[in-house]
Amino acid sequence: MSQNAFDNSGLKDKLHLEGTPVAAFNPSVGLAITSGDLVVTDSSTYPATDGLKKAHVRVTDYLGKELRDTITTTGAPGAKTIDLATLNTSKPVVVCVTVITNNGLIADGRGEIFALAGATSAIANWDKQ
């Protein structure tokens, strides 16, 4: 009997490694402030046989108030404009995005942006699955 507590041999075919679809999935979401609104744009690159299913967007102010929206089209045509008027924007707002592909790849990322006209930022620290 093996000294290992678990037999993980069945997992080797389930992992997404280099050269597999997750390696070709590069999430990218841009943030921009225009006239007090937050514009969120998906500019991710997807594997050849995949594409954006949806991207969930959550914007939170430092007091914990949230706004949510969903992107369903990549690029400028799918950009979402979120009115920040109901949030306290005296400090940066936190934007969390979950990008989901048609084939089930998922990436979570987070960014911050000051609600100042002309400000830009991008979601970073992506966790791809």
Q: What is the mean pLDDT of the chain?
A: 87
Residue 8 within any structural domain of the chain? no
Domain with 103 in it: what CATH number? 2.60.40.10
- The torsion angles phi and psi of 87, rounded to 5 degrees, stand at -100, 155
Residues in the chain: 129
Residue 52 within any structural domain of the chain? yes
The answer to whether residues 57 and 40 touch, using CB atoms and an 8 Å cutoff, is yes
Q: What is the pLDDT of residue 6?
A: 62
For residue 113, the surrounding DSSP H or E stretch is strand 106-113
Please determine, for residue 105, whether its predicted confidence score (pLDDT) is greater than 60: yes
Helix, strand, coil % in the chain, rounded to nearest 5: 10, 45, 45
Our count of domains for the chain comes to: 1
* Each residue's pLDDT tens digit, 39-74: 999 999 999 889 999 999 999 999 999 999 999 998
